[in-house]
């Protein structure tokens, strides 16, 4: 039976990416060697990482003011790397608290300096995105999380700021058109919308680095990674290769603009059924609903066993909600076809 993969991460990847990645594991570029055996400094892999970095810049329409890094440690390591590189000694940073991962970023930044939480939806269980706030000029940088996988909320309009703008885009990167030049630093774990776990994408404006006065541990220093072109240490070669294939798939299928159109169609189809069907209700405020992660609940818990059996029998996988919210979560990442959403909607209608 064909599986419909709604997992929040590690997430669905395009079938052609899985096929090419599997072939590369056995024989990469006809070398008679596996991708995961060859030197990361070989001509064959250097071409991979350089093309991956270039494809990111093309998709985001960014100039050479920016550098693209493929690192490790996921977004969780970026929670510490950002303040190490951008928070000056004695300085302050502004954060919004919109979910578990935003809260994790705040926790790490507080270890290095003063953090002001200028807006939060924590008291309402993160069911909305705060909007009525301003970012003062006294901050070294402003940090936000664009999409909250657990709660199904997403920033629709980013604030105008006079400080540096930093964004964790782990779960919605490349899913919608944005003016990426508004951001000074973007980071994202690959495993939600770009590739398999193991690589972390960082897009950084080069001129902002080296100004904190800190003695930064080598691996946590963005400038050293820039200088070494993401080769400061052995990179996660398989994850980067699969990410390149996914980026090429995206580019060959109309780029970000076309992906956004597909993602809006998928989200509209599912949200319409949630709103129409009295057995279901959405988790968050309608105006803040995510295109990537649809969190919802049953209105009658007595229907849980029947619904669970129905979606599992239909070949649906990864629909259970996060442990902090319960209920259900359907992740509609770029590679998920609308046909999978149609299957889920038909199951919901059949109850």
The verdict on residue 317 lying in a domain is yes
The verdict on residue 198 lying in a domain is yes
Spatial neighbors of 296 by CB under 8 A, at least 6 apart, are 152, 274, 280, 281, 282, 283, 327, 328, 329, 330
Q: Are 165 and 114 in contact (CB under 8 A)?
A: no
pLDDT value at residue 121? 98
Tell me: pLDDT of 132 over 80.
yes
| 128 burial level (CB within 10 Å; 0-12, 13-18, 19+) | middle
Bridge-based pairing state of the strands 92-97 and 141-145: parallel
pLDDT value at residue 308? 98
pLDDT value at residue 1? 67
The verdict on residue 7 lying in a domain is no
Which range marks the domain in which residue 261 is found? 256-350
Which domain-ending residue is among 252, 286, 309?
Answer: 252
Q: Are 57 and 66 in contact (CB under 8 A)?
A: yes
User: Average pLDDT of 68-89?
Assistant: 98
| CATH number of the domain that residue 200 is part of | 3.40.640.10
Sign of the alpha-carbon torsion through 189, 227, 218, 238: positive
Query: For residue 222, which of 262, 178, 181, 184 has the smallest C-alpha distance?
Result: 184
Judge if 318 and 235 occupy the same domain: no
Judge if 100 and 183 occupy the same domain: yes
Judge if 199 and 334 occupy the same domain: no
291-345 per-position pLDDT tens digit: 999 999 999 999 999 999 999 999 999 999 999 899 999 999 999 999 999 999 9
Q: 308's torsion region: left (phi>0), alpha (psi -120 to 50) or beta?
A: alpha
Element (DSSP H or E) covering residue 19:
helix 15-26
Judge if 22 and 52 occupy the same domain: yes
Judge if 245 and 129 occupy the same domain: yes
Judge if 35 and 98 occupy the same domain: yes
The verdict on residue 10 lying in a domain is no
Residue of 101, 205, 266, 288 with catalytic role: 101
Residue of 140, 168, 184, 288 with catalytic role: 168
The verdict on residue 3 lying in a domain is no
| CATH number of the domain that residue 321 is part of | 3.90.1150.10
Q: Are 29 and 48 in contact (CB under 8 A)?
A: no
Per-residue confidence band for 118, with pLDDT thresholds at 50, 70 and 90: very high
pTM above 0.95, yes or no: yes
Tell me: pLDDT of 2 over 90.
no
Residue that the structure tokens 């995206």 belong to: 250
Element (DSSP H or E) covering residue 117:
strand 114-120
CA dist 322 and 329 (Å) reads 7
Sheet-wide strand order for 328-331: 280-282, 293-298, 328-331
Average pLDDT, the chain: 97
DSSP 68: E
229-270 per-position pLDDT tens digit: 999 999 999 999 999 999 999 999 999 999 999 999 999 999
CA distances (Å), origin 246, targets 56, 195, 249: 11, 6, 5
210-232 per-position pLDDT tens digit: 999 999 999 999 999 999 999 99
Judge if 43 and 191 occupy the same domain: yes
The verdict on residue 280 lying in a domain is yes
Judge if 111 and 245 occupy the same domain: yes
CA dist 199 and 21 (Å) reads 15
The verdict on residue 101 lying in a domain is yes
Judge if 64 and 210 occupy the same domain: yes
Spatial neighbors of 286 by CB under 8 A, at least 6 apart, are none
Is 101 assigned a catalytic role? Answer: yes
Is 311 assigned a catalytic role? Answer: no
98-110 per-position pLDDT tens digit: 999 999 999 999 9
Residue of 67, 184, 192, 266 with catalytic role: 192
pLDDT value at residue 115? 98
Judge if 191 and 277 occupy the same domain: no
CA dist 35 and 53 (Å) reads 18
Which domain-ending residue is among 193, 222, 252?
Answer: 252
User: Average pLDDT of 123-149?
Assistant: 97
Judge if 333 and 237 occupy the same domain: no
Which domain-ending residue is among 252, 268, 286?
Answer: 252
The verdict on residue 89 lying in a domain is yes
Is 27 assigned a catalytic role? Answer: no
Domains in the chain: how many in total? 2
Judge if 238 and 291 occupy the same domain: no
């Amino acid at each position: 039976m064909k599986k419909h993969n709604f997992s929040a991460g590690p997430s669905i990847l395009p079938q052609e990416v899985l096929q090419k990645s599997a072939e590369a594991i056995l024989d990469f570029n006809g070398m008679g060697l596996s991708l995961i055996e060859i030197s990361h400094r070989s001509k064959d892999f250097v071409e991979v990482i350089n093309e991956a970095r270039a494809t990111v810049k093309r998709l985001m329409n960014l100039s050479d003011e920016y550098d693209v890094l493929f690192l490790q440690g996921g977004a969780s390591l970026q929670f510490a790397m950002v303040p190490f590189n951008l928070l000056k000694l004695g300085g302050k940073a502004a954060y919004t608290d919109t979910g578990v991962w935003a809260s994790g970023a705040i926790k790490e930044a507080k270890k290095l300096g003063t953090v002001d939480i200028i807006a939060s939806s924590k008291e309402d269980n993160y069911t909305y995105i705060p909007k009525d706030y301003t970012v003062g000029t006294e901050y070294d940088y402003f940090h936000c999380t664009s999409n909250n996988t657990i709660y199904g909320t997403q920033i629709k309009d980013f604030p105008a700021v006079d400080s540096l703008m930093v964004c964790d885009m782990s779960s919605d990167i490349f899913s919608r058109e944005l003016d990426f030049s508004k951001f000074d630093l973007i980071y994202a774990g690959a495993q939600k919308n770009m590739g398999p776990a193991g690589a972390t994408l960082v897009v950084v404006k080069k001129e902002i680095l080296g100004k904190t006065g800190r003695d930064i541990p080598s691996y946590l220093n963005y400038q050293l990674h820039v200088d070494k072109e993401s080769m400061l240490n052995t990179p996660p070669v398989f994850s980067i290769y699969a990410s390149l294939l996914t980026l090429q798939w995206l580019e060959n299928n109309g780029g970000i603009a076309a992906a956004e159109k597909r993602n809006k169609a998928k989200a509209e189809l599912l949200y319409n059924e949630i709103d129409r069907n009295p057995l279901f209700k959405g988790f968050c405020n309608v105006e803040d609903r995510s295109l990537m992660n649809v969190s919802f609940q049953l209105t009658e818990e007595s229907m849980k066993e029947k619904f669970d059996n129905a979606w599992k029998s239909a070949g649906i996988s990864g629909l259970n909600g996060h442990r902090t919210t319960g209920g259900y979560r359907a992740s509609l990442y770029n590679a998920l076809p609308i046909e999978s959403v149609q299957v889920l909607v038909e199951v919901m209608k059949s109850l």
